[in-house]
Every structure is written in structure tokens, then in C-alpha cells.
Amino acid sequence: MKRAIVIEKIWKVLMYASIALVLFFVVSVIWSVFKRGLPVLSWEMVSSLPGGGFYIGKEGGFLNAIVGSLYIVGGATFLGLLVSIPVVFYLNVYLKPHSKFGSIARLAYDVLFGIPSIVYGAFGFTIMIFFGLRTSLLGGIIVVTLLIIPILIRSMDEVAKTIPQDLLEAGYSLGSTRLETISVVVRQIAPAIATATLLSIGRAIGDAAGVMFTAGFSDSIPTSLTQQTASLPLSVFFQLSAPQLEVQDRAYAAAVVLTAIVLVLSLSGRFIMSRFSRNKI
């Protein structure tokens, strides 16, 4: 008996150690990025475009990457929601709860969720070549849209699945069609739509491998969908591979901006989830 208690204690210590280790990783990642990047971050960097000689350490900033990322993320999130809300609605209202098709569809979205973004990028690239398109903002938006659709669908679907059938039937009994119950469904899953959106924005803004193939890179802010565009992760990646310290400094500064955005997103996601899930039935 005593032995069992000693073993219990040992494992418990190991569990504490594992949590301490994870805590250490989180702190270490954020601290190292901020410690290196924050001192070199300046207003000029986030508010100006790369000037002449930017890549050998002359003046300028990475506004092009910030705005490029916003364009890609904004476009992709909008398109993604446009596709995924109807799909979630279809899966949960039009299909029967134990429909075979629904089950296969959910499996497929789970699998798509697991496909790495570099494969999306390579696939998007072949498609673009096939249609004679060049790397552009549009290409980036399309690939990132494809990348986040499975996340949007599956995370909204998890919540939509829990909508009681009675609620829909109450709607039908009042004479509403299936399509009209969409307002009930959307209201029920509103917090899930919000968190799914934040989740996919986080994934979209951090994606580098997909946009590398399809959006290219550029020193200016794109004025049309057919122009190439920069993005924050790629701006970090490309500038870090430069030998000049000044250029690397800017990469670290861009990393701080990216980390800060992602931190805000993930914390507000949790906040929304805990705050608004009370109104659900």
C-alpha cells in the first residue's frame, strides 16, 4: 500500500513538471520574441512602406506587410463565412441528425482541417498556373479561404449540433420554412460564429506556407486583386534570412506585431466563449 502512495506521488510530481514545462514554453516563446523585437520596434516601422535600399538596412517599415495581411485575412474571412454558414445550416437543418452524408461530410472537413497549409499552397499554385493566373492578392485570398473553411465549419458545427430539435420544430409549427429557421439557428450559434471567426483569423494571419506560393511578396500596398502582396509572416521570414542586422531587427519587430495580434485574438476568443455562451438554451 505504501508503495502505491509513493508511486502516486512520483507521478504527480511529473505531472506538475509537465505543466511547468508547458508554462515555460509559453513564457519563453512570448518573452523571447518581445525581448528581441520590442526595443527595435518603432512607429516608423509600422507606419511606412519599405524605402529604397530597405533590404540592405536603409529606412522604411513594413506597413505593406501589415496591410497585405489585413487584406488577405479580411477577404478570406468574409468569403469563408459566406461559404461555411450555409454549409453548417445545411448539415444541421436540412439533413437528418444521423444522415450518412452528414457523417461523411464531417469526416471530410476534419481531414481537410489536417491537410498542411503547404499542400494547400502547392495545390493553389497548380490551379493558378492552370488558369493562367499569376501570384496575386486574389490567389492568396482564395487559398487562405480554402484553408479556413474546414476550421469555420467544424467549430460552428460542433455547437450547431447541440441545438435542440424541438427548437426547430417549434419554428416549423409556427409556419416557418426550413430556410426561415436560419435566423433561429444563427442566433443560437452566434457566439460560436464569433469564436470560429477569431480562430480562423488567427490561423489566416499566421499562415505563411500557403500565401508564399500564391500571394507572392511586394514592397507596396496592392491596389487591385491581381497585384502581388506582402504578408506579416512572410515579411518576418524573408527579412530574418537577410545578413544585415538592421533588416533582421525589423523582422523581429514584425514578429512582435504578429504575436500581439494573435494574443489579442486568442484571449478575446476565450472571453467571448465564456461571456456569451450563457444565453444558449
Residue closer to another protein, measured from CB, 60 or 233: 233
The rounded distance, in Å, linking the Cα atoms of 195 and 157 is 12
The piece of 12-20, 41-49, 166-174, 220-228 that touches another protein (CB under 8 A) is 12-20
CB nearer to another protein: give 172 or 271.
Answer: 271
- Give the residues across from 204 on adjacent strands: none
The nearer residue to another protein, 51 or 86, going by C-beta atoms, is: 86
Q: Which is nearer to another protein, 50 or 269 (CB)?
A: 269
Residues 74-93 within binding reach of another protein (CB under 8 A): 83, 86-87, 89-91
Using CB under 8 A as the binding criterion, the count of chain residues that bind another protein stands at 80
Within 13 Å, how many C-alpha atoms sit on residue 91's CB side?
A: 26
Q: Which of 165, 263, 275, 277 binds another protein (CB under 8 A)?
A: 263
Which residues pair with residue 60 across a beta bridge? 50
Q: Which is nearer to another protein, 111 or 167 (CB)?
A: 111
Q: Which of 63, 73, 144, 146 binds another protein (CB under 8 A)?
A: 146
Spatial distance between the Cα atoms of 139 and 121, rounded to a whole number of angstroms:
10
The CA distances from residue 230 to 66, 92, 220, 221, 255, in Å, are 8, 38, 8, 8, 14
Least separation in angstroms between residue 61's CB and another protein is 18
Report how far residue 72's alpha carbon sits from residue 78's, in angstroms, rounded to the nearest whole number: 10
Q: Which is nearer to another protein, 223 or 241 (CB)?
A: 241
C-beta closer to another protein: residue 48 or 259: 259
Closest contact distance (angstroms) between CB of 73 and another protein is 12
Minimum CB separation from another protein for residue 262, in Å? Answer: 5
Phi, psi for residue 248 in degrees, rounded to 5: -60, -40
Instruction: Return the ∠ at Cα 211 (arms to 51 and 153), rounded to 5°.
Output: 135
62 binds another protein, rule: CB under 8 A: no
User: What is the DSSP annotation of 89-146?
Assistant: HIIIIIS-TT-HHHHHHHHHHHHHHHS-HHHHHHHHHHHHHHTT--S-HHHHHHHHHH
The correct pick among 29, 38, 56, 170 for binding another protein (CB under 8 A) is: 29
Residues 6+ apart with CB under 8 A from 226: 134, 136, 137, 138
Q: Within 13 Å, how many C-alpha atoms sit on residue 34's CB side? A: 10
Q: Residues 78, 270, 277, 279: which binds another protein (CB under 8 A)?
A: 270
- Binding to another protein (CB under 8 A) within 198-257 occurs at 199, 202, 205-209, 212-213, 233-234, 236-237, 240, 251-252, 255
Shortest distance in whole angstroms from residue 41 CB to another protein: 14
Angle at CA of residue 119, ends 118 and 125, nearest 5°: 90
Q: Which of residues 104-133 bind another protein (CB under 8 A)?
A: 104-105, 107-112, 114-123, 125-127
